[in-house]
Amino acid sequence: MHEWALAEAVVAAASQTAEKEGLAEVTEVRVKVGELQQIELDIFEFALSQLKTDRFRNAKFKIEIAKAELKCRACGHDWAFDREKVDENAAEAMHFVPEVAHAYIKCPKCGSPDFAVTEGRGVWLQTVKGVK
Amino acid sequence: MTDPRISVISERLKEVNRVIAVSSGKGGVGKSLVASTLALTLAKKGFKVGLFDLDFTSPSTHTILGIRGIQPKEDKGIVPPSVHGLKYMSIVYYSGEEATPLRGLDVSNALIELLAITRWSELDFLVLDMPPGIGDATLDLVRLIEKIEFLIVTTPSRLAFETVRKLAGLLKELGVPVVGVVENMKMNLSKTIQQQTRKLDLAYLGAIPYDTKVEQAIGNVNKLLNTVLADKAKNLATKIVSKLCINKP
């Protein structure tokens, strides 16, 4: 249920952007969420709908899930994160703190835990549209 | 694109009165032991205290406090469990016993994630056990937590104090308050660190003698609270409380 905490963050950041840009009403908020975050999309969307303030009453939240891409720093191998290849407990831990992926995932080519998450990590507020 | 998680951090900490980062310029000065014992002592005095282990690659406060087999609750975020009278948070809930090699960007991301999703509720003190040095965690926390204050731990060694000078200099430049300096593992009556601390215009909060009993007390809070370290931590807590002008509950 930490989707609620992340949804609160999105609404707080979108409110700050709307305030800065002088938007009286927000019509659309685009959010990108990394696959590594493994959020439950239904819960995240429900939380966003519940957390809407008056300024967001007609706003649509458009959520894009970015596939997680990993790159080994030791051998340069690129690979895609595959949830099915991760143990259940490890996946649960990564759901809360995606960086613990470094404790559970190794490069499939050379076995190194030293890899970069080149895509698909974090939560990003992309755009906030509305009327002034 | 902006990272929305940063926008919610001050909200998560709004019911926390003081955030004290127990820090050092160098590793191995006893920072985690001082942070743990200080947090326990403040809790024993009746304050509401949280302890957050931010040394993500080498967490050790769970070992010091003998914490095993517990997990935070999920409630619109994560709620740190109460252990030994403290609200306790650490990455070990998620990394377990596995080595977790993290580079700077990963440290920043993990820090932002945990600050954004952890619900501390009302606290008089949140004690942070920092990783050593002036790297990513220090810079991020200064950027992300407006009310942060530092407590610097050193040993009598010139090697440790040289790094204190750098840490103190950085914090001064950034306008971050420093509660004071604690001299840990003291083995003689030298006043060098005390004098050098005052030259930096910082408060010398006292010395903790080298205590051979501490090693045997690791993992056992009752034993830990009977060490000289704990005895000195009481004085330290009193000084911190009076310096921070917090009324006893």
ipTM of the complex model: 0.91
**Half-sphere exposure of residue B31, counting CA atoms within 13 Å on the CB side?**
32
Confidence of residue A113 (pLDDT cuts 50, 70, 90): very high
Strands (E), chain A: 25-34, 60-66, 69-72, 78-80, 115-119, 123-131
> In sequence order, which residues have a C-beta less than 8 Å from that of residue A97 and are 6 or more positions away?
B91, B94, B95, B110, B113, B114
**Half-sphere exposure of residue B62, counting CA atoms within 13 Å on the CB side?**
22
Which of B113, B39, B117 is CA-nearest to residue B72?
Answer: B117
User: Are the C-beta atoms of residues B52 and B127 closer than 8 Å to each other?
Assistant: yes
The pair of three-digit structure tokens given for residue B130, joined into one six-digit string:
């920092």
Report pLDDT digits (tens) over A12-60.
999 999 999 999 999 999 999 999 989 999 999 999 999 988 999 999 9
A79 inside 8 A of chain B by CB: no
More confident residue, A95 or A1: A95
Which of B132, B130, B133 is CA-nearest to residue B141?
Answer: B130
pLDDT of residue B243: 67
Q: A16, B116: Cβ pair inside 8 Å?
A: no
State how beta strands B82-83 and B78-79 pair. Answer: unpaired
pLDDT, averaged in runs of 10, over chain B (249 residues):
92 95 94 95 95 95 95 93 97 91 92 95 96 91 95 95 95 94 94 96 94 93 94 88 58
Its pTM stands at 0.94
Mutate to test the interface with B, among A19, A102, A115 (most CBs of B within 10 A): A102
Phi and psi angles of residue A25, each rounded to the nearest 5 degrees, phi first: -135, 135
Report pLDDT digits (tens) over A61-108.
999 999 999 999 999 999 999 988 899 989 989 999 999 999 999 999
User: Are the C-beta atoms of residues B84 and B221 closer than 8 Å to each other?
Assistant: yes
pLDDT of residue B38: 95
Report pLDDT digits (tens) over A23-34.
999 999 999 999
Tell the residue number behind the tokens 């998560």, with chain if given.
Answer: B12
The pair of three-digit structure tokens given for residue B231, joined into one six-digit string:
């005895």
pLDDT of residue B239: 86
Provide the number of structural domains found in chain A: 1
Tell the residue number behind the tokens 């989707």, with chain if given.
Answer: A3
DSSP code per residue over B64-95: HTT--S--PEESSSEEPPEETTEEEEETHHHH
Chain A positions in Cβ-Cβ contact with residue B2 (cut-off 8 Å): 13, 17, 124-125
**Chain B nearest C-alpha distance from A99 (Å):** 6
Mean pLDDT (chain A) is: 93
Give the residue on B whose Cα is nearest the Cα of A34. Answer: B3
pLDDT of residue A65: 95
Which of B140, B151, B130, B132 is CA-nearest to residue B174?
Answer: B140
The residues pairing with A78 across neighbouring beta strands, listed in sequence order, are: A71
Q: A9, B94: Cβ pair inside 8 Å?
A: no
**SS3 assignment, position A127:** strand
Show the domains of chain B with their CATH numbers.
4-241 (3.40.50.300)
A64 inside 8 A of chain B by CB: no
pLDDT of residue B214: 93
The CATH number assigned to the domain holding A113 equals 3.30.2320.80
Cα–Cα distance for residue pair B53/B68, rounded to 1 Å: 15
DSSP code per residue over B134-148: SSHHHHHHHHH-TTE
Which of A1, A9, A10 has the CB atom closest to B75's CB atom?
Answer: A1
The residues pairing with B182 across neighbouring beta strands, listed in sequence order, are: B153, B206
The pair of three-digit structure tokens given for residue B126, joined into one six-digit string:
């949140």
Cα–Cα distance for residue pair A62/B113, rounded to 1 Å: 22
The residues pairing with B216 across neighbouring beta strands, listed in sequence order, are: none
| Residue B183 identity | E
Cα–Cα distance for residue pair B240/B232, rounded to 1 Å: 12
pLDDT of residue A1: 60
Tell the residue number behind the tokens 């920092």, with chain if given.
Answer: B130
Mutate to test the interface with A, among B79, B106, B118, B121 (most CBs of A within 10 A): B106
